[in-house]
A = this chain, B = another copy of it.
């Protein structure tokens, strides 16, 4: 158990956000799950807004470095894209992280504290940029043949991923994610 209390709080808070969004959890919920008092959570994260901000920041940083390492360590663009989708497929199937934190928060973005909203927005921009660069690389190597610009196709792909998460959740069918996202990748291949 090498995990600090702060990290435990963030982990619990993240899974609570994934389950019910910003207004779907309270310090009391975290308190119960972590096993410390509410006031102790305030010691680590003075306000809820700060807590979620740190949480989102950690999430986007992890995502960014994860995506970066995919680009570095996975052989080709097709495989890189597939690895990204496989990651989510696994998370959804084993219910370990059945929804993207930022997708969840994006739905409520209108009533999020501005700093949090800004971080959520940035995650969408980063993800779109990553997908764009993967698609571009694939086009250059004649592995992808796109009907639209890489930027547009990246937006389409990102929307499909988030929409697929939502459908899988709404209909209670985790396999729906792959059923939706799979064909979208297939049609890009040259």
A residues touching B (Cβ–Cβ < 8 Å)?
19-21, 23-24, 99, 102-104, 106-111, 120-121, 124-125, 147-148, 152, 155-156, 158-164, 166-167, 169-172, 176, 179-180, 183-184, 186-187
- Residues in chain B near residue A179, CB distance under 8 A: 152, 155
**B159–A180 CB distance below 8 A:** yes
Tell me the bound Cα distance from A167 to B110 in angstroms.
13
**B120–A170 CB distance below 8 A:** yes
**B180–A109 CB distance below 8 A:** no
The complex is assembled from copies of this chain, and their number is: 2
**B108–A21 CB distance below 8 A:** yes
- Residues in chain B near residue A102, CB distance under 8 A: 170
Contacts A106-B169, A120-B170, A155-B179 given; indicate if A20 touches B163 (C-beta within 8 A): no
Tell me the bound Cα distance from A147 to B108 in angstroms.
35
Tell me the bound Cα distance from A109 to B104 in angstroms.
12
- What are 29 A-B contacts with C-beta separation under 8 Å? A20-B111, A21-B107, A23-B24, A24-B108, A24-B111, A103-B166, A103-B170, A106-B166, A107-B107, A107-B166, A110-B169, A121-B171, A121-B172, A124-B167, A124-B170, A125-B171, A147-B187, A148-B183, A152-B183, A155-B176, A155-B180, A156-B180, A156-B183, A156-B184, A158-B163, A160-B163, A162-B162, A162-B163, A162-B166
